[in-house]
Amino acid sequence: MAQLVAIDNKNHLNLKVDVSKAELHGASLHLVPAVVSEFANMAVQYPLVLTKHEETGQLVCAAMLGFEAGENLFWQGEQWQGLYLPLQIRRQPFFVGNADKERDYVICIDSDSPTISQNVGQPIFTENGEETEYFQQAKSCLAQLLQGELENKQLLELLEQMDLLQVMKMEITFSNKQSTTLNGLYTVDEEKLAALSSEQMTILHKAGFLPAIYALIISLGQMHHLIDLKNKMLGC
Amino acid sequence: MNKLTKTVVIVGGGIAGWLTAGRLAAKHKSNTEQGLKVILIESENIPTVGVGEGTWPTMRSTLIALGIRETDFIRECDASFKQGAKFVKWVDGSEDDFYYHPLVLPQGFGQGDLAAHWLSRQGNEGVSSFSNEVCYQEAICENDLAPKTIRTAEYADVANYAYHLDSGKFAKFLQKHCLEKLGITHIVDDVIGVNSADNGDIATVSTEKNGDISGELFIDCTGFSSLLIGKHYQIPFKSCQDTLFIDSALAVQLPHDDAQADITSHTISTGQEAGWIWDIGLQHRRGIGYVYSSKHSTEEQARAVLAEYVGEKFESLTVKKIPVVSGHREKLWQNNCVAIGLSAGFLEPLEASALVQIELSAQMISEQLPQTRDAMNVIGKRFNEIALYRWGKIINFLKLHYILNKRSEPFWVDNRDPETIPQSLQDLMILWKHRSPADCDFTSNNEVFPAASYQYILYGMGFETDYSNTPYVLNDSDFAEEKFAQNKKLINKAVATLPTNRELINKIKEFGFSRI
């Protein structure tokens, strides 16, 4: 669990972030949350799937990086091998704190993050206590995630309302003859999408979700890429 | 004249009225121009009885057919999950006397006779009760666990389930849904007369403020007053009180001690000197009631029994007295009129048969709605056959709970008297002396309780089936080993992964279920 601490320019004046280590946060993730605005970037490399949040049961969008918990096939040689680094990784070590609704959001930092130290990397405050350009960029990354969560929610609500989701059933046999069954994953039902009335299609179009929906569908082709990575890792 | 069915008039609100209206309107597109017109006339002045707070798993398909989201239903009807019934003190009344009738079938049911294997092993070290050895649901119930998680789609399950609900809230919830979504015409008025056509059909019903309301089919959901089928058509009432002795009920509502109290995941039914007490856990309260035979107990004695069960809070609660007139109309469909709900009949709430009868009737009428007056005779005849068959089967199954008891009070002794046991049930008991209840005993398409339910009651109550003439039944011991082991595995998995009933209810309130 991340240890979140609210950032201020008194306690964190000299704090530095080693950006190159942010990727470490994704080293053992097999699913990484994704927001609509990055679907297009993700779809060229990772399968995008829907899954249910462990605690809330709510559907969430995620990019698949491996086939089992702890397995990130894009993490090799202590480095992220993917072309696109998901926002959820890039935002490290910053988080938006549990803001109450009355006040603005609070930016927090994960005090356990391997990226932070007093001497290596980018400072977040100037000597005068003003935010650095780096910190402002990091904040805009968080803003994109917050906005993305809203868009995700709207997209998922529309997909559910229009009954466009289906369970993804997939049994995969790797080159070492081991097989795995993918459970608890969902995706868009192409047939139902094709059968939508023009009124419903217009709703999706006006909401700006058609590219995201097609990205979800097309990205599943990356499953072959993921299997290939796994086979290579198995050395067969 | 072979009139086409254009309008159905339902007299009476309550759960029976709204559920029937909803199923008809949903199926026959009452919210469109070509659709069937469904009129529901409801009196402001007659309170609903609000009987039945336990359902069957069928309620899930009923709610789906009505287009209701499970999350909305659970949030608004104070509902919780029910996974069967626990019968306490029904055998000998001792402190550790209990058995379960869960909703999940025994492992491998229909593939082999696991009951025979359990019977041959019972009493051996490490062998527990029938329901616990063949089914994983008892363990779930004993731990107050839910039948699914927040990640399970709405109406889907990990273990089969039904609901406990607040019947007053449920009636209002159905009404709101029907009026907002399904296009039902709602008339709030008192019905003051029934007007016949020449052929004996009901032509119209007269209301106080809205004049005469006409229709092709009239549905009597007027509860105990049985306005159409009873008062108008004078269809006799067939009592079954010589079989089922319960004729009175005292009910209370007991609020939980705190908002996060555990919610029991099954109906608890506890045998008492002259009847039994139901105990149903909802989100905010428990519904508790004593149903008893007034021939075997005075009301004063009954109050004392209920007070003892409820505990010190009893004095602060309002006790509602409800008559239980066990039985049903000799016919449920007459001319162009059919009775659904209490107007059709009533039985003690053992095994929650009230709501399911409403569901089954409403389903049949919506699926087989006669389109012409000719067709009405055919469907009416069929409806009567099926409904009467079901009443008979339910009465038999309820009686089964009483005949194997070993208690000494007169109520329980009298219940064992063969004179009070229907011949059809006695016939089955003859067969089951030498083999366990099986699907071949229940061959109609309109069965209500499956053979598995009979097994749970028989072997829960200590009935012995004698296999000495057919010892080869036990030859497939590999099958039995596998199924018993599988059940143990499922118990461990369920107990390790399922949330408590309360935890799941909290999550449903906060997040809700997905459709998928």
- Smallest Cα distance from B514 to chain A, Å: 7
Which residues in chain A have Cβ-Cβ distances shorter than 8 Å to B511? 56-58
CA distance B357 to chain A (A): 31
Tokens 């029937």, located at residue: B20
Inform me whether the C-beta atom of residue B497 falls under 8 Å from chain A C-beta atoms.
no
**Which residue of A54, A55, A59 is in closest CB contact with B514?**
A59
Tokens of B396: 């038999």
Residues of chain B contacting A167 with CB distance shorter than 8 Å: 516
Cβ density class B344-371: b for 16+ within 10 Å, e for less: bbbbbbbbbbbbbbbbbbbbbbbeebbb
The rounded distance, in Å, linking the Cα atoms of A59 and A52 is 4
Do the chains contact at A165 and B149, CB–CB below 8 Å? Answer: no
- Say which residues have a Cβ less than 8 Å from residue B261's Cβ, sequence separation at least 6: B502
Contact check, Cβ <8 Å, A57/B510: no
- Identify the pLDDT of residue A20: 83
pLDDT of residue A3: 82
Chain A: closest CA distance from residue B34 (Å): 21
Compute how many other C-beta atoms are within 10 angstroms of the C-beta atom of residue B299.
13
pLDDT at residue A102 greater than cutoff 70: no
Task: Verify cis geometry, omega within 30 degrees of 0, for the bond prior to B57.
Answer: no
Q: Is B64 on the interface with A (CB under 8 A)?
A: no
- Whether B152 has its CB under 8 Å from any CB of chain A: the answer is yes
Give the alpha-carbon dihedral of B70, B71, B76, B79, to 10 degrees: 70
CB contacts, 8 Å: A59 with chain B: 514, 516
Q: What is the DSSP letter of B318?
A: P
B interface test, pick of A49, A53, A58 with most B CB neighbours within 10 Å = A58
End-to-end CA distance of chain A: 35
Torsion angle, alpha carbons of B128, B134, B140, B141, to 10? -70
Residue A29 domain-assigned (yes or no): yes
Q: Which residues of A touch B146 (CB under 8 A)?
A: none
pLDDT (tens, 9 = 90+) of chain B, 516 residues, equals 689 999 999 999 999 999 999 999 999 999 999 999 999 999 987 776 666 699 999 999 999 999 999 999 999 999 999 999 999 999 999 999 999 999 999 999 989 999 999 999 999 999 999 999 999 999 999 999 999 999 999 999 999 999 999 999 999 999 999 999 999 999 999 999 999 999 999 999 999 999 999 999 999 999 999 999 999 999 999 999 999 999 999 999 999 999 999 999 999 999 999 999 999 999 999 999 999 999 999 999 999 999 999 999 999 999 999 999 999 999 999 999 999 999 999 999 999 999 999 999 999 999 999 999 999 999 999 999 999 999 999 999 999 999 999 999 999 999 999 999 999 999 999 999 999 999 999 999 889 999 999 999 999 999 999 999 999 999 999 999 999 999 999 999 999 999 999 999 999 999 999 999
Cα distance from A166 to chain B (closest Cα, Å)? 7
pTM here?
0.91
- Contact of B260 with chain A, judged by CB distance below 8 Å, is answered with no
**Cβ contact (<8 Å) for A160 and B149?**
no
Evaluate whether residue A117 is within a structural domain: yes
Which residues in chain A are closer than 8 Å to B151, comparing Cβ atoms?
Answer: 52-54, 57, 184
Would you call B507 and A58 a contact, using CB atoms and an 8 Å cutoff? no
Res A192 pLDDT > 80: yes
Instruction: Give the minimum alpha-carbon distance from A88 to chain B in angstroms, rounded to a whole number.
Output: 23
Per the CB < 8 A criterion, the answer to whether B429 and B370 are in contact is: no
Task: Say which of A52, A160, A166 has its CB closest to residue B151.
Answer: A52
Count other Cβ atoms within 10 Å, centred on residue B478.
9
Q: Kindly report the nearest CA distance between residue A53 and chain B, in angstroms.
A: 7
Residue in chain B lying closest to A157 (CA): B514
- Whether residues B514 and A58 touch (CB distance < 8 A) is answered with yes
Reply yes or no on domain B7-53+166-239+326-388 having CATH 3.50.50.60. Answer: yes
Q: Nearest CA of chain B to the CA of A146: how many Å? A: 19
Give B507's contacts in chain A (Cβ within 8 Å): 55-57
Residue B513: its chain A contacts at CB < 8 A? 57
Distance from CA of B27 to the nearest CA of A (A): 20
Q: For chain A, how many structural domains are there in total? A: 1
Any chain A CB within 8 A of the CB of B211? no
The shares of helix, strand and coil residues in chain B, as percent rounded to the nearest 5, are 40, 20, 40
pLDDT at B50: 60
Yes or no, beta carbons of B151 and A54 under 8 Å apart? yes
Q: Which residues of B touch A53 (CB under 8 A)?
A: 151
ipTM topping 0.85? no
At B469, list the tokens: 């003439």
Partner-chain residue, chosen from A57, A59, A166, that has the shortest CB–CB distance to B149: A57
Q: Which of B149, B507, B516 lies nearest to residue A186, judging by beta carbons?
A: B516
Contact criterion met (CB < 8 Å) for A166 and B511: no
Residue B513 touches chain A, beta carbons under 8 Å: yes
- Tell which residue, B326, B12, B48, has the closest CA to residue B166: B48
Q: Which domain holds residue A66?
A: 4-229
Residues of B in contact with A58 (CB under 8 A): 511, 514
CA distances in angstroms from A87 to A22, A53, A95, B273, listed in the order given: 11, 18, 12, 68
CA B334 to CA B332: how far, in whole Å?
7
Residue A117 — pLDDT band, cuts 50, 70, 90? Answer: confident
Instruction: Name the residue facing B150 among A57, A160, A186 (closest C-beta).
Output: A57
* B507 vs A56, A160, A167: nearest CB: A56
Q: Is B69 on the interface with A (CB under 8 A)?
A: no
Would the CB atoms of A57 and B513 count as touching at under 8 Å? yes
Q: Are residues A57 and B152, on separate chains, in Cβ contact within 8 Å? A: yes
B509 shares contact with chain A (CB less than 8 Å): no
**B454 with B425: CB under 8 angstroms?**
no
Query: Do A56 and B511 count as a contact with CB atoms less than 8 A apart?
Result: yes
Regarding predicted confidence, which is higher, A20 or A35? A35
Measured between CB atoms, which of A55, A57, A166 is closest to B514? A57
Tell me which chain A residues have a C-beta less than 8 angstroms from the C-beta of B503: none
Return the pLDDT at A100. Answer: 60
Sign (positive or negative) of CA dihedral B480, B482, B486, B488: positive
Say if the Cβ atoms of B152 and A163 lie within 8 Å. Answer: no
d(CA B156, CA B64): 11
DSSP code string of B10-72: EE--HHHHHHHHHHHHHHTTTTSSSSPEEEEEE-SSSPP-----B--THHHHHHHHTT--HHH
Task: Give the pLDDT score at B178.
Answer: 97
DSSP B417-446: -GGGS-HHHHHHHHHHTTS---GGG--STT
Q: Which residue of B has its CA nearest to A50?
A: B516
> With contacts defined as CB-CB under 8 Å, which chain A residues touch B514?
52, 57-59, 160
Average pLDDT of the segment spanning A112-138 = 89
Tokens for A212? 């995201």
Instruction: Report if residue A85 sits inside a domain.
Output: yes
What are the strands of the beta sheet with B285-292, ordered from one edge? B98-102, B84-88, B267-272, B275-281, B285-292, B248-255, B320-323
The answer to whether the CB atoms of B511 and A58 lie below 8 A apart is: yes
Q: Which residue has the tokens 């795995």?
A: A180
In a domain, A187, yes or no: yes
Which pLDDT score, from 0 to 100, does residue A103 have? Answer: 64
CB contact under 8 A, B511 and A167: no
Question: Do A160 and B510 make contact, defined as CB atoms within 8 angstroms?
Answer: no
pLDDT value, residue A68? 92
Spell out the domain ranges in chain B: 7-53+166-239+326-388, 106-124+131-159+422-497, 248-323
Domain assignment present for A26 = yes
Q: Averaged over A60-86, what is the pLDDT? A: 93
Residue A236 falls inside a structural domain: no
